A and B are shown apart, each in its own frame.
Chain A
Amino acid sequence: MLDKVIFYFFAAIAVGSAALMVTRRNAVHSAIFLIATLLATAGIFLQLRAEFIFIVQIILYVGGIMVLFIFVIMLVNLDVALHQIKFARQKWVALIVTLALSAQVGLLFWTMGKMPGQGFPILTAAPADRLPPQNAEAVARSLFSSYLLPFEIASVLLLVAMIGAVVMAKKRT
């Protein structure tokens, strides 16, 4: 019961603020609601005892990426951006993408419902002790043993991106 209450609390916040994020006109308000969504998702992770994913979500997405988002939004001249909305031509593309995505999600739910004895995964989820304790160590161990190659490739990619960013920023002098 308690698990369900907590889950629906966070889920309601996540979905509600996601909807608000899309509908707000003001970019900063949108960013704030996106932060709320991310934090609520982090709360669901914490409820599943995935502590490490929880804190990574907060540090990376909320503390890192969203700070940069807001930083950029504040530097960009919002009035100009608002005027340009009139000339947006992506409406139809956006509609098609949305339809495709909702069809996919609907199909997923439909097949899940048809499977015997399973129901929707989210409704049966969230017993409190899903993951073993010390999952931070577990994540590190699997990253540096079984998934070493993907990990290194990702690091190299990030390094390349970082060097690229520095080169781009240095260009003006």
Chain B
Amino acid sequence: MQAAAQATLDFLKLYWAPLLCGVVIVAVLPLIVGYIVLVERKLMADMQARLGPMRVGPHGLLQPIADAVKLLIKEDIIPDDADKLVFWLAPVFSVGAALLAIAGLAFGPAFQIAQDLDIGLLFVVGISALGIFGIVLGGWASNSHYSLMGALRSSAQLVSYETAAGMALVCGLLFAGTLNIKSIVLAQGTQCVWFGFLAPVAFFTYLVASIAETNRAPFDLPEAESELVAGYMTEFSGFRWSLYFLAEYVNMIVVASVATTLFLGGWLRPFANIRWLNFLDLLPPLLMIGVAGYCVLRMPKQPTRVQQMFMLAVAGLCLVVGFVLATPVLLPFVKPSLKDAVAPFYAGIHGGFWFIFKVSAYIYFFMWLRFTIPRYRFDQLMRLGWHFLIPLSIINVLVVGVALIVGSYFNLQGWALLLATTPAAIVALVAALIILSLDQKNQARQESTAATDFYAG
């Protein structure tokens, strides 16, 4: 008994910081996801010339909380013919995999749960790929045709696009030379260039593949509501459904974070190592203070007193964040002796800001695509994956490898490496065009024989 207590104590002593981080992340993520959904609805409304949610809180700012409460108190229905155990397990598996993948990510130089994991990026990619079991098992356990069809589509889609995504990541890793997430970001700092510029084709491939992997429009075939009701989640309701929903959005955050880490410089500020651009550090606090000012300006226009107070509270919050961001930048000017003491705070806070900023921008781009491009047909989706993205990404790995060798031959580093990689990107693009035209010819020939796809419904 005492030995067990000792073991628990040892465990806590060693791992209290990551445990705390993990608990905080698991507790906060649903809220963040709720607000991502709100932003998405607002953006969709804006693109369709509507207002979106307006009733709960000023401009619908409390809508996520109302949604969460609604989902929690909804009746939990399990179909009679469902496989109860698997039905229970599937959403848990989905959400567990998505949350576990977060553990490998670095949100700043200090904030990482699995610190110094040597296989960093592989861990994130591999663990988040396990979420597919939640989808497949959920679809199977529901014992319904729509669900099974959605699950089959989903597994086929994920398996095919994982290859392209993996090849794109290989391209980025060629520049980094390590799998460790922290070292990847630091490599972009020392080379003074984000790998997204060095490997634009890989970035594009990863972008497309990551949309497909998170089952988002235009690739949301597994839950195409106009064909399959809701795909694999058709039979899920209430809390179980919200678990799936949570997993989907957490997966979005994960792929956005992977793209940010590998292609967009992670937590680094733009032009991180250029001294005379250091005034860019003032951007984050100014942005937050600007948002606060906007909130104060809009405050008198709110219809009720409660809403005015709420708006003021939002402004206050933004102001606090702005000041927190500004202090480590401005303090060294007031008291130069404090410069070293402030440095870690500066790195942590500003790193977190830039990381979240880039991830948000990536997710925002996802939303744009969702409201702009109509859904693909299933055979088109498969064709895009197997006939275009996978060959393109394999060719790109080859071309980038050659470019790297040429670059090291002429001793090119940092920005100068662009001299080698830009022609490589052009070669890859030409290859892509050739692949596309070949594929189109092939498709035209096949369509005359009227091939129908097995999973197309």
Contact = CB atoms under 8 A, between A and B. Distances in A.
A26 B86 CA distance: 11
Nearest to A26: B83
B209 interface: no
Interface string A27-55: 01100100100000000000000011011
Q: Is the interface of A mostly helix, strand, loop or mixed?
A: helix
A133 interface: yes
Contacts of A28: 83, 86, 137, 140
Interface string A1-25: 1100100000000000000000000
A58 B89 CA distance: 19
Given A59-B126, A63-B126, A74-B148, A136 B10 contact: no
Contacts of B127: 58
Nearest to B104: A55
A55 B152 contact: no
Interface string B152-175: 100110110000000000000000
Interface string A67-96: 110110011000000000000000000000
A63 B140 contact: no
Interface residues of B, number: 36
Interface of B is mostly: helix
B433 interface: no
Given A71-B136, A71-B155, A74-B140, A62 B130 contact: yes
B123 A63 contact: no
B3 A1 contact: yes
A58 B124 CA distance: 11
B136 A70 contact: yes
Nearest to B139: A74
A59 B256 CA distance: 20
B155 A67 contact: yes
Contacts of B76: none
A134 interface: yes
B66 interface: no
Interface in B120-137: 122-123, 125-127, 129-130, 132-133, 136-137
A58 B126 contact: yes
A135 interface: yes
Contact of B7 (A5, A74, A133): A5
A55 B129 CA distance: 12
A59 B124 CA distance: 11
Contacts of A58: 126-127, 130
B126 A35 contact: no
Contacts of A32: 86, 89, 137
A55 B86 contact: no
Contacts of A68: 159
A29 to B, nearest CB: 7
A62 B137 CA distance: 14
Contacts, number: 78
B83 to A, nearest CB: 7
B136 A74 contact: yes
B11 A63 contact: no
Interface string B107-124: 000000000011100110
A66 B133 CA distance: 9
Contacts of A51: 117-119, 123
B48 to A, nearest CB: 37
Nearest to A63: B129
Given A51-B117, A63-B126, A136 B86 contact: no
Interface in A114-164: 133-137
Nearest to A68: B159
Contacts of B83: 26, 28
Interface string B432-457: 00000000000000000001000000
B123 to A, nearest CB: 6
Given A29-B86, A35-B133, A59 B10 contact: no
A52 B119 contact: yes
Contact of A1 (B6, B85, B178): B6
A116 B197 CA distance: 61
A169 B290 CA distance: 60
Contacts of A35: 133
B201 interface: no
B15 to A, nearest CB: 10
Given A63-B132, A74-B148, A55 B122 contact: yes
A71 B119 contact: no
Nearest to A73: B140
Contacts of A62: 130
Nearest to B89: A32
Contacts of A1: 3, 6-7, 10
Contact of A67 (B10, B85, B126, B133): B133
B151 interface: yes
Contacts of A2: 7, 10-11, 14
29 contacts: A1-B3, A1-B6, A1-B10, A2-B11, A2-B14, A5-B7, A26-B83, A29-B86, A32-B86, A35-B133, A51-B118, A51-B123, A52-B118, A54-B119, A55-B123, A58-B126, A59-B125, A59-B129, A63-B129, A63-B130, A67-B133, A67-B158, A70-B133, A70-B140, A75-B152, A135-B118, A136-B119, A136-B122, A173-B451
Interface of B: 3-4, 6-7, 10-11, 14, 83, 85-86, 89, 117-119, 122-123, 125-127, 129-130, 132-133, 136-137, 140, 148, 151-152, 155-156, 158-159, 178-179, 451
Given A70-B137, A70-B155, A137-B178, 14 more contacts: A1-B3, A2-B7, A28-B86, A29-B86, A32-B137, A51-B117, A55-B119, A55-B126, A59-B122, A67-B136, A71-B155, A135-B118, A136-B118, A136-B122
